[in-house]
Amino acid sequence: MKKILPLALVLSVSFGSMIAMAKEPTNLAVVKQGLVRYHDSGQYDKDIDHVIKEATRYLKIRLAQPRDDKKPAIVLDIDETSLSNYPDMVKLNFGGTLEEIQQAEDQGSDPVIQPTLKLYQFAKANKVAVFFITGRKEEERAVTEANLKKAGYTDWNGLILRDGEYKNKPAAEYKTVMRKKLEEEGYDIVLNIGDQRSDLEGGYADKTFKLPNPYYFIP
């Protein structure tokens, strides 16, 4: 009776040195190399710049059609939208525990994301209210304010951090409630900009703009 050889064995018999392999996912080290290349090649910055330019263009169009009933506003997320954690991510080799990530954040030395700063300056110059809505906790307010100022965001109409019941809510839910409150206060949120879909889902913004972030995911 003929024996049926497993495929891997057949290959190694037929081609000698050829390695029979399972169809495995991309190796983690290769993925990390790709993330570094995306950043270091300048493509990450270019992609951010492109999205912010589109957002600015939209804001300009809207400012040309002013409304009497509502005050124009923009909403910016902080991490990977206004400030970059990239140096910390590299130090932690794109990993780290939640404590390590927050410790790094609380150094207060995150560099600016330049295109977003330019949009912020354009908004301020045109009397558009600026609100930061971040997943950072209320306890991080002082360090976050200091970091924003150091990066060039000198003042704002509101800095909203997670507090109370919202500490354990999904980001999309918490951020949506905060935008709803702003609209109830008489603001028209013309732009909402973030690097996560959870920054942008849930409405209460005329247009949303998603910045690239292949580095982490926040549900």
Q: What is the CA radius of gyration of the chain?
A: 23
Residue nearest to Mg ion (CB): 79
CB of 194 to Mg ion, least distance (A): 6
195 lies in the binding site for Mg ion (CB under 5 A)? yes
Task: Tell me whether residue 80 or residue 105 sits nearer to Mg ion (CB atom).
Answer: 80
Residues 21-50 that bind Mg ion (CB under 5 A): none
Q: For Mg ion, which is the closer residue by CB, 110 or 195?
A: 195
CA–CA distance, 191 with 75 (Å, rounded to integer) = 6
DSSP three-state, residue 53:
helix
105 contributes a contact to Mg ion by CB under 5 A: no
Let me know the angle formed at the C-alpha of 46 by 41 and 49, rounded to the nearest 5 degrees: 155
Q: How far apart are CA 91 and CA 94, in angstroms?
A: 8
Q: How far is the CB of 118 from Mg ion (least distance, A)?
A: 18
Per CB under 5 A, the list member of 75, 79, 89, 178 interacting with Mg ion is 79
Q: Which one among 55, 59, 75, 77 touches Mg ion, defined by CB under 5 A?
A: 77
199's tokens: 């920054």
Using DSSP's 3-state secondary structure scheme, residue 115 falls into helix
List residues near Mg ion by CB under 5 A: 77, 79-80, 195
